[in-house]
Amino acid sequence: MRVALGIEYLGTAYCGWQYQEHCDSVQKNLQSALSFIADEKIEVHCAGRTDAGVHAIGQVVHFDTKSARLGRAWVQGTNTQLPYDIRVAWAKPVSEDFHARFSAKARQYRYVIFNRAVHSAVLSGRVTWERQCLNEHAMHNAAQALIGEYDFSSFRASGCQANHAIREVQSIQVTRHDDFVFVDIQANAFLHHMVRNIVGTLLEIGRGEKPEEWVKSLLEKQDRTQAGITAPAEGLYFVNALYPEEFELPRTPLDAVLWQE
């Protein structure tokens, strides 16, 4: 039987999603908890791997098992075996042709910037702090140049292992709610550090250090060294993996990322 799960986690304490022998990862904890409930070794596959310090509210995984369990066992039972900062939100049996990564049509991320002169004591590790007042309208206008299918080499980490840098950004919006600036981006897939590199570039535009046209010129140059720095991991949230309707999987609303717009 193949089962899909919706996973939430606060990434602060982990070295990322992917299982690694030398450090604590989200995948390592989840597989251990599921294996306990299933009474067999479980290996999970995710919709999109996240880096150290990156969070998720709509990560999707799947696994195969010989154990027959009710949905509430996969949710409530697994959660009893997980640390407080990792939770299974839902579970659903799926067909054998479903794959958490390869069946996904698109992925959504939200980047959260706390834009105030003084940092928040209670939001540390959950947002990126920017003391200088940002022009979110300039950031949004500049970001529209990214919509479409392009070579995103200028926003690709040097260690990215993808075969090519061609990706399709389907939407990107920069909005403000009081002291919070949100960067919401949806694409068919993402390169390593792609969202954080885009945000780092948009921050320079928001501060007035670069013109709005800079983003378009960076796409054309296809040179990572010309773009902005990589924005911190703590502001980034994996919000959704989007699948064909036939799988009938839940979708996480954007406003579930701590703050409503």
Active site residues: 51
- CA–CA separation, 71 and 172 (whole Å): 35
Query: Which of 106, 110, 124 is closest to 241 using CA atoms?
Result: 106
Q: Write 131-138 long-range contacts (CB < 8 A, 24+).
A: 132/207, 134/176, 134/181, 134/203, 134/206, 134/207, 135/205, 135/206, 135/207, 135/208, 136/174, 136/175, 136/176, 136/181, 136/206, 137/174, 138/205, 138/206, 138/208, 138/212
Residues 22 and 202: beta-carbon distance below 8 Å: no
* Segment holding 172, helix H or strand E: strand 166-177
